[in-house]
């Protein structure tokens, strides 16, 4: 595969994996489980662009223009980057015959970003330590990122199937 093929695969798999993660989040919300409001991610990124990294509580920070759109864009951008890392690790052989474990392991590894970077910067503390239910929130994040990993695998499997049909 060419570099552009690998990049294309990373984008497709990243968007697909992130969409599966979002479907999971939608289901949780419909069941009454609180999930991340991506407008707050956009608010954090908007303040980050102005040089402010840490917040006591991102929900109380001054809103930024188009924060919801920015947050969703960043969310999908991060999903694409993580998928490109997966593709870079496993290579093009995996793309033609995906297996679950590499994608699931990458999905699980990605939980470090929210637990150790975003949550502390947004005021929730490392591993959600400043929230009312840190252990439950960490488990919810871990499961969500496992779902992301499964979404990466399913997206790669779909793409491999479409490639076989076209060849």
166 domain residue, yes or no: no
pLDDT in single tens digits along all 167 residues of the chain = 788 888 999 999 999 999 999 999 999 999 999 999 999 999 999 999 999 999 999 999 999 999 999 999 999 999 999 999 999 999 889 999 999 999 999 999 999 999 999 999 999 999 999 999 999 999 999 999 999 999 999 999 999 998 888 87
CA angle 80, 86, 91 (to 5 degrees): 120
21 domain residue, yes or no: yes
Residue-number span of the structural domain to which 147 is assigned: 3-161
DSSP 118: I
Q: Which residues fall within 8 angstroms of residue 165, CB to CB, at 6 or more apart?
A: none
C-alpha 73/C-alpha 145 separation (Å) is 18
Phi, psi of 37 (to 5 degrees): -90, 115
C-alpha 160/C-alpha 113 separation (Å) is 28
93 domain residue, yes or no: yes
42 domain residue, yes or no: yes
148 domain residue, yes or no: yes
Nearest to 8 by CA among 143, 145, 159, 164: 159
Supply the pTM of this predicted model: 0.94
Phi, psi of 130 (to 5 degrees): -100, 15
130 domain residue, yes or no: yes
108 domain residue, yes or no: yes
As a dihedral over the C-alpha atoms of residue 125, residue 35, residue 152, residue 146, rounded to 10 degrees, the angle is: 60
Q: Which residues fall within 8 angstroms of residue 156, CB to CB, at 6 or more apart?
A: 9, 13, 94, 95, 98, 103
Nearest to 131 by CA among 75, 58, 72: 58
84 domain residue, yes or no: yes
Question: For the chain, what is the domain count?
Answer: 1
Which residue is listed with tokens 């297996």? 99
Can you give the pLDDT at residue 89? 93
C-alpha 29/C-alpha 36 separation (Å) is 10
Q: Are 102 and 94 in contact (CB under 8 A)?
A: yes
């Amino acid at each position: 595969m060419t570099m552009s093929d690998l990049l294309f695969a990373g984008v497709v798999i990243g968007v697909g994996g992130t969409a599966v993660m979002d479907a999971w989040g939608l289901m949780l919300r419909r069941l009454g489980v609180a999930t991340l409001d991506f407008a707050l991610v956009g608010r954090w990124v908007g303040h980050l662009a102005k040089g402010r990294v840490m917040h006591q509580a991102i929900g109380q920070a001054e809103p930024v223009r188009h924060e919801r759109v920015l947050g969703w864009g960043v969310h999908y951008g991060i999903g694409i980057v993580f998928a490109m890392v997966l593709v870079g690790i496993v290579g093009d052989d995996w793309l033609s015959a995906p297996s679950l474990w590499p994608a699931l392991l990458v999905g699980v590894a990605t939980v470090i970003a929210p637990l150790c970077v975003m949550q502390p910067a947004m005021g929730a503390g490392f591993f959600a330590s400043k929230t009312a239910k840190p252990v439950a929130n960490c488990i919810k994040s871990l499961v969500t990122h496992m779902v992301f990993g499964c979404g990466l695998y399913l997206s790669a499997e779909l793409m491999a199937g479409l490639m076989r049909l076209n060849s």
